[in-house]
Structure 1
């Protein structure tokens, strides 16, 4: 802050110097001196002409002409030979001008310059380590709204000068997540992930921000990252919690029950969250039962063969067909790729053909395909699987193991 005020003083001094500079310069043109110089030059020039004319015999009374010339020179001199000096002293102009510059500069800054905000910004930047430590320590008393805003301001300032600070981007992303600022959270976490993609904390934060996005590709990317954390044996309740809530929202109730059950085993009955997880499991089981009872439905468990290589942004398409293998599906649904094995439930709400419901079928087959390009009409290179013919209401199991 001291540097800021020193810079304002320097700028003010420069402005005052620019005002004083013209007043300090002496007047380069003096009317009286100029007149005398011209008269002298004219007198000498005329004397030379008279001498030439006398030598040529053109004039008879040279001395009289010289006397007239001298008289005319005297007549040109004003009676008051003392030049009247300026009545205003340069200092009388300089001092008020300097005072006006100083007063106006600091007055206008005090009015419009937001000095209090600049001071607050400087204080917040200095308090960044303390605020960061409080956020990371996970204290029982969370940061207040003012502290969160201060921390965000300080982090943005630091990241402006240190854009390669992955920890700073991670902190900014967590603050944005807490404030439900999805755009800022994704941008900050993406920067942290770009700088430190091997960090489990960064990967988890990035996945968490992507889960809040409404874009299906972002959500698929989040599931891929979370699945990768599980494969790396990264044990963190937040990973299972994110996967569980995501599965519940996608109506993949068996997967939600599985993840919540793992969380219960991890925390034990002594934890206060144990009962809450039990209620979540009951809710998912109830919804799963409702899906099974809705005027006949099809419960499909899908697995992937070892040789299947699914692109990251692929989608899973599950369709129900007549038992005769008709290519036109009676019902179909599209899901994010997610993890396998997985279970999905299709019912009359997924019917595709007008005038015919899934519950009208007595026998059926189920097909599942991994759509790699987002276009359901193209199948070249996609992996797929097909079940045997089963009666409506029976559970279906199939493996995706073939390629178009």
Structure 2
């Protein structure tokens, strides 16, 4: 709806209301005028009858004069009553009009949402500049107000054009830049579904999936990247991304294959090169040690694996700060997970989830809680332990959740005791 249409509708409604208010008063005024004319005609007719009665000898002149005087008094009394009635109606009508206008103004000021309409208009005006800044990868320079305006403008644009894959992609990148992985993946998924042949959209989807550290998302990201590599096998960027996600998943074959494709083009001293080489060595060591276990009898193998699984990990005592006791979620899930403290790999090596209950609380986080058999606490030298109070049970961060973290070395074959205090709101 345009502003001209809005003003036209409002003007029509105001005119209609004024007509409703004025109609009873105008109708009453017309009735009063008609009544006044009718009374005057009756008086004239009665005077003519009195003259006729005198001429016929039915009444005397004295009786006629007395009757005429009575008619004049009645007419004067009726005129005075109408004057008082007219004078008394003006004040209620005027007062009612003032009250109606004041009430309308108050209600309009409360419900018109003009401030939000103005904010939406400003956000739409700023959309091209902010979108360009986001597209250039400068989302970190956006203020909170810029992010809010950009999200509002993009949503408004998507409401008008729900099939705009570029708009969904911008919205997904914006959510990704502020750590809202779930909303980001949903928006980017929408963009990919609208334009399935757009390679850039699918690459962005893989990047978003990789940031979550969730094993299901990592596996999906790997599938997306392998599909893209099938159409463009010489793309080194895709090969590097595939090597990274494969390393996170513990997929030694694909890690070595795609790292070999880009290794010569990376700096030997770069952090990426060193981490991939270290991860490949770690996976190769695990694969070499795996056959040794087959030399044992089946019963010996099972006993050894159980012993090793329960021997490495942590006994975590979780408590809450005073602020967390007041503001942290009282219902939901307690998620305790361990990540590699020496790398940027966000995938948890162990995860434990349970309903929120009384604190302090002690839980066991060991190799039994690994998400993947080839990536456990036993493969880490130092771990970052996080205890999070989650509303939805998802490892990814959501607003309103609380967490506490601590760092600890991992001692193979030992259960280490440590304390974690939930004291940070996310």
**Distance of aligned partners of 1:248 and 1:90 in 2 relative to their CA distance in 1, 3 Å threshold:** same
How far the C-alpha of 1:158 sits from its partner, in A, is 1.2
Tell me, yes or no, if structure 1 residue 284 matches structure 2 residue 280.
Answer: yes
1:53-202 matches, cutoff 5 A: 63-64=58-59, 76-79=74-77, 81-82=79-80, 83-84=83-84, 85-86=86-87, 88=90, 93=95, 96-97=98-99, 100=102, 104=106, 108-109=109-110, 115-138=114-137, 142-146=140-144, 147-202=146-201
Q: Which residue of 2 aligns with 1:57?
A: none
Tell me the distance in 1 between the aligned counterparts of 2:173 and 2:234: 20
Tell me the distance in 1 between the aligned counterparts of 2:91 and 2:152: 52
| Deviation larger for 219-228 or 125-134 | 219-228
Q: Which residue of 2 aligns with 1:315?
A: none
How far the C-alpha of 1:290 sits from its partner, in A, is 3.6
**Distance of aligned partners of 1:7 and 1:36 in 2 relative to their CA distance in 1, 3 Å threshold:** closer
Higher CA-based Rg: 1
Secondary structure in 2 matching 1:127: helix
Deviations 1:78-102 (A, max 9, x none): 5464433415469954884586357
Query: Are the equivalent residues in 2 in contact too, given 1:159–1:169 (CA < 8 A)?
Result: yes
Query: Are the equivalent residues in 2 in contact too, given 1:243–1:256 (CA < 8 A)?
Result: yes
TM-score (normalised: structure 2)? 0.51
More helix by share: 2
**Distance of aligned partners of 1:117 and 1:76 in 2 relative to their CA distance in 1, 3 Å threshold:** closer
**Distance of aligned partners of 1:234 and 1:170 in 2 relative to their CA distance in 1, 3 Å threshold:** farther
**Distance of aligned partners of 1:295 and 1:12 in 2 relative to their CA distance in 1, 3 Å threshold:** same
Tell me the distance in 2 between the aligned counterparts of 1:230 and 1:218: 18
Tell me the distance in 2 between the aligned counterparts of 1:6 and 1:100: 24
Q: Which residue of 2 aligns with 1:402?
A: none
Query: Are the equivalent residues in 1 in contact too, given 2:243–2:258 (CA < 8 A)?
Result: yes
**Distance of aligned partners of 1:278 and 1:170 in 2 relative to their CA distance in 1, 3 Å threshold:** same
Query: Are the equivalent residues in 2 in contact too, given 1:131–1:151 (CA < 8 A)?
Result: yes
How far the C-alpha of 1:289 sits from its partner, in A, is 0.5
Tell me, yes or no, if structure 1 residue 269 matches structure 2 residue 264.
Answer: no
How far the C-alpha of 1:218 sits from its partner, in A, is 6.1
Secondary structure in 2 matching 1:184: helix
Deviations 1:153-187 (A, max 9, x none): 22222111112222222222222233332332232
Deviations 1:236-271 (A, max 9, x none): 555334423332233223432333333323x3328x
Q: Which residue of 2 aligns with 1:56?
A: none
**Distance of aligned partners of 1:228 and 1:80 in 2 relative to their CA distance in 1, 3 Å threshold:** closer
How far the C-alpha of 1:217 sits from its partner, in A, is 7.0
Tell me, yes or no, if structure 1 residue 293 matches structure 2 residue 289.
Answer: yes
Tell me the distance in 2 between the aligned counterparts of 1:235 and 1:120: 47
**Distance of aligned partners of 1:170 and 1:81 in 2 relative to their CA distance in 1, 3 Å threshold:** closer
Tell me, yes or no, if structure 1 residue 249 matches structure 2 residue 251.
Answer: no
How far the C-alpha of 1:221 sits from its partner, in A, is 4.7
**Distance of aligned partners of 1:43 and 1:214 in 2 relative to their CA distance in 1, 3 Å threshold:** farther
Name structure 1 gaps, 5 residues minimum.
52-60, 299-320, 323-330, 332-347, 350-404
Name structure 2 gaps, 5 residues minimum.
299-304, 306-366, 369-426
Query: Are the equivalent residues in 2 in contact too, given 1:244–1:260 (CA < 8 A)?
Result: yes
Query: Are the equivalent residues in 1 in contact too, given 2:247–2:276 (CA < 8 A)?
Result: no
TM-score (normalised: structure 1)? 0.53
**Distance of aligned partners of 1:279 and 1:211 in 2 relative to their CA distance in 1, 3 Å threshold:** closer
**Distance of aligned partners of 1:79 and 1:154 in 2 relative to their CA distance in 1, 3 Å threshold:** closer
How far the C-alpha of 1:285 sits from its partner, in A, is 0.9
* Corresponding pairs, count: 285
Secondary structure in 2 matching 1:180: coil
Tell me, yes or no, if structure 1 residue 37 matches structure 2 residue 38.
Answer: yes
Query: Are the equivalent residues in 1 in contact too, given 2:205–2:221 (CA < 8 A)?
Result: yes
